[in-house]
């Protein structure tokens, strides 16, 4: 029985099966190949194309009123609540070429609105209208927060859509008779966004949190497992943070490695010019010659507690809130009781698919957060 249908792709399938004993799950970041798009480049720049319709005019109309666009769901767990989020959802479905252009226009509009609100408040200081303008600024700030969170989320959805992987919808719409199975798994696509080093750490994470084995048989992968929804929700949210952590740490390592190579090149150039002072620069590089060849895992093991904590949580409150919203929407936790499922039966294959999606979500979240923060200053977490 199909749990839900998607456009131009195979559906997720629900298979009825008998229950099985529960299994223990313990809570606990690298590309096998580079994807068709880069981590951050696809979130930047406006695309221009020739045609009958002028995209500039269309963007202006879209940002003036959400009612001018027909809003339909992308069948993601979380649906945007703001008009800007609904616009982006429609653009993704109907004219994806305009997506980044619309995002840029919306973010710049939020920046202008925030500045105007601050200017009005500053002009009213000391007057009878100061309290009114302060309240207006507060309400506009709250509305902008929701809009920015929706924009971040739609940037993540865009990345999934670009690699032709549908996000798992609300489990309440996919679980039938207490059974959940996800098909097609799209494991290869979700793994291909990582480098070989990161992929090895992802596999270790899968082993720790769900007991997955790399050389497991087909029978083992499809054997029935039982898991509490709240427990699976925590695993999913933790895996998002793990994906975010791996992306953040990988970027830091690459930057330090580039700095080390640059310093060594400066040292070699200084030797050629007979300078002794510049040759010492390479000694203060974060990477010694021996450490340049160390693995990402070895690099992370040298992190102290403070550094680990810094990379293990989102840098902004908007990103942290989006993790919470997406996870709760997916599992139906804290929503209507009649939609909440206590225990589900599933397979190791479907559990792996969920965790791989969560890790990819975290990696894409890092990209989206960086892009949005470059235009609209986000609030530090």
pLDDT digits (tens, 9 = 90+) for 273-306: 554 444 444 444 444 555 556 788 888 888 888 8
pLDDT interval class at 332 (50, 70, 90): confident
* 248 against 271, higher pLDDT: 248
pLDDT for 31 equals 37
pLDDT interval class at 70 (50, 70, 90): very low
Distance of alpha carbon 183 from alpha carbon 29, whole angstroms: 25
Asked if pLDDT for residue 362 goes beyond 70, the answer is yes
Mean pLDDT of 115-128: 85
pLDDT interval class at 160 (50, 70, 90): very high
200-209, 273-282, 313-322: range with lowest mean pLDDT? 273-282
In this structure, the strands spanning 2-4 and 343-347 are unpaired
pLDDT for 367 equals 94
31-40, 176-185, 187-196, 230-239: range with lowest mean pLDDT? 31-40
Mean pLDDT of 206-212: 92
100-109, 125-134, 219-228, 274-283: range with lowest mean pLDDT? 274-283
DSSP category for residue 378: P
The reply to whether omega before 184 is within 30° of 0 (cis) is yes
Residue located via tokens 């252009």: 101
Distance of alpha carbon 257 from alpha carbon 267, whole angstroms: 15
- Beta carbons of 317 and 326 less than 8 angstroms apart: no
pLDDT for 271 equals 54
Segment holding 376, helix H or strand E:
none
95-109, 155-169, 189-203, 295-309: range with lowest mean pLDDT? 295-309
State residue 294 phi and psi, 5-degree precision: -75, 155
What pairs with residue 176 in β-bridges?
179
Report the number of secondary-structure helices (H) and strands (E) in the chain. 12, 4
Mean pLDDT of 61-86: 66
CA distances from 270 to 263, 264, 283 (A): 10, 10, 14
* 26 against 261, higher pLDDT: 261
Mean pLDDT of 309-331: 90
C-beta atoms surrounding 187 within 10 Å = 14
pTM for this structure?
Answer: 0.73
* 72 against 355, higher pLDDT: 355
Contacts of 178 (CB under 8 A, 6+ apart): 19, 341, 343, 344, 345
pLDDT interval class at 269 (50, 70, 90): low
- Beta carbons of 331 and 236 less than 8 angstroms apart: yes
- Burial class for 326, CB neighbours closer than 10 Å (0-12, 13-18, 19+): buried
* 101 against 72, higher pLDDT: 101
pLDDT for 202 equals 94
State residue 2 phi and psi, 5-degree precision: -80, 140
* 268 against 233, higher pLDDT: 233
CA distances from 166 to 160, 189, 353 (A): 7, 11, 11
Q: To 5 degrees, how large is the angle CA 261–CA 263–CA 264?
A: 65
Kindly report, residue by residue over 246-259, the tens digit of the pLDDT: 998 888 888 888 88
- Average pLDDT of the residues of the chain: 76
- Burial class for 211, CB neighbours closer than 10 Å (0-12, 13-18, 19+): middle
Q: What b-and-e string marks burial along 333-351, b requiring 16 or more CB atoms within 10 Å of the CB? A: beeeeeeebeebbbbbbbb
* 310 against 64, higher pLDDT: 310
């Amino acid at each position: 029985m199909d749990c839900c249908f998607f456009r131009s792709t195979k559906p997720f399938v629900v298979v009825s099966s008998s229950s099985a004993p529960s299994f223990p799950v313990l809570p606990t970041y690298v590309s096998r190949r580079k994807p068709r798009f880069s981590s951050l480049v696809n979130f930047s720049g406006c695309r221009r194309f020739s045609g009958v319709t002028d995209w500039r005019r269309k963007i202006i109309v879209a940002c003036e009123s959400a009612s001018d666009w027909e809003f339909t769901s992308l069948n993601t767990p979380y649906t945007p609540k703001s008009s800007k989020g609904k616009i982006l959802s429609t653009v993704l479905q109907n004219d994806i070429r305009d997506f980044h252009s619309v995002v840029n226009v919306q973010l710049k509009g939020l920046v202008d609105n925030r500045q105007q609100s601050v200017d009005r408040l500053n002009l009213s200081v000391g007057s009878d209208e100061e309290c009114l303008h302060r309240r207006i600024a507060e309400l506009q700030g709250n509305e902008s927060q929701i809009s920015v969170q929706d924009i971040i989320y739609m940037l993540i959805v865009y990345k999934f859509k670009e690699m032709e992987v549908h996000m798992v919808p609300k489990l309440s719409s996919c679980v039938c008779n207490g059974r959940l199975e996800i098909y097609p798994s799209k494991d290869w696509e979700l793994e291909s966004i990582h480098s070989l080093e990161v992929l090895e750490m992802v596999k270790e994470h899968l082993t720790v949190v769900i007991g997955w084995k790399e050389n497991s048989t087909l029978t083992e992968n499809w054997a029935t497992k039982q898991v509490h929804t709240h427990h699976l929700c925590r695993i999913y949210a933790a895996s998002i943070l793990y994906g975010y952590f791996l992306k953040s740490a990988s970027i830091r390592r690459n930057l330090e490695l580039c700095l080390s190579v640059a310093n060594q090149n400066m040292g070699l150039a200084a030797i050629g010019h007979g300078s002794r002072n510049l040759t010492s620069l390479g000694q203060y590089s974060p990477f010694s010659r021996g450490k340049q060849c160390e693995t990402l895992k070895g690099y992370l093991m040298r992190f102290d507690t403070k550094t680990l904590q810094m990379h293990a949580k989102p840098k902004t409150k908007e990103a942290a809130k989006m993790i919470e919203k997406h996870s709760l929407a997916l599992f139906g936790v804290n929503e209507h009781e009649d939609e909440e499922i206590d225990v589900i039966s599933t397979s190791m294959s479907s559990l792996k698919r969920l965790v791989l999606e969560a890790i990819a979500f975290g990696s894409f979240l890092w990209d989206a957060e960086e892009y949005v923060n470059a235009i609209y200053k986000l609030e530090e977490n």
